[in-house]
Amino acid sequence: MQHSLILNQSKNNWDEKDKAMILAFIEYIFTILYINKPVTIKLDDASEDNEEVEVKLNLRLTYVDLDTRVIIIYCKNRGLLDILRSIAHELIHIQQKDLGLLNNTVNISFYLPTPNSEGYEYEYEAYGLSGIIVRNFRAILNGKDNE
């Protein structure tokens, strides 16, 4: 399956170490999540040139469109591990869709939901699982089983 990763090198200025880490993480996460169609992950620096999603992105650091399967992550002034966690978080929502979990959810809001919001459990899962995935990835990088 051919996923797309748009690094936006000219804006984000990744160094070689960052780039290697991002690529290793993407490779890792697609081996552990159930994703059944290609996904595009775009690492952007800021919102100016993203007119069509700018409103939705206002005050947000990430965005996922479950229909087009495009994930946009704002990277400006953020640490790399935080960015990786965001990638994991949004990919978990894609996995939820591919597992058919979101089919009966009419109006899901993944942004600042309260426990009474529709789909709260999916947001809760995305936050928890993304933290675990990044932690495990770091442990593998460090050659340890636990940290």
* Contacting residues toward Zn ion, per CB under 5 A: 110, 123, 126
Least separation in angstroms between residue 123's CB and Zn ion is 5
Q: Which is nearer to Zn ion, 11 or 60 (CB)?
A: 60
Q: Which is nearer to Zn ion, 44 or 90 (CB)?
A: 90
Least separation in angstroms between residue 80's CB and Zn ion is 20
Least separation in angstroms between residue 109's CB and Zn ion is 9
Q: Which is nearer to Zn ion, 47 or 86 (CB)?
A: 86
DSSP 31-78: HHS---S--EEEEES-STT-HHHHHHHTT-SEEEETTTTEEEEE-TT-
**What gap in Å lies between CA 143 and CA 17, rounded to an integer?**
17
**What gap in Å lies between CA 110 and CA 5, rounded to an integer?**
22
Cβ(75)–Cβ(83) below 8 Å: yes
Cβ(22)–Cβ(7) below 8 Å: yes
**What gap in Å lies between CA 80 and CA 23, rounded to an integer?**
12
Least separation in angstroms between residue 107's CB and Zn ion is 15
Cβ(98)–Cβ(37) below 8 Å: yes
Q: Which is nearer to Zn ion, 18 or 121 (CB)?
A: 121
Q: Which is nearer to Zn ion, 44 or 123 (CB)?
A: 123
Least separation in angstroms between residue 95's CB and Zn ion is 12
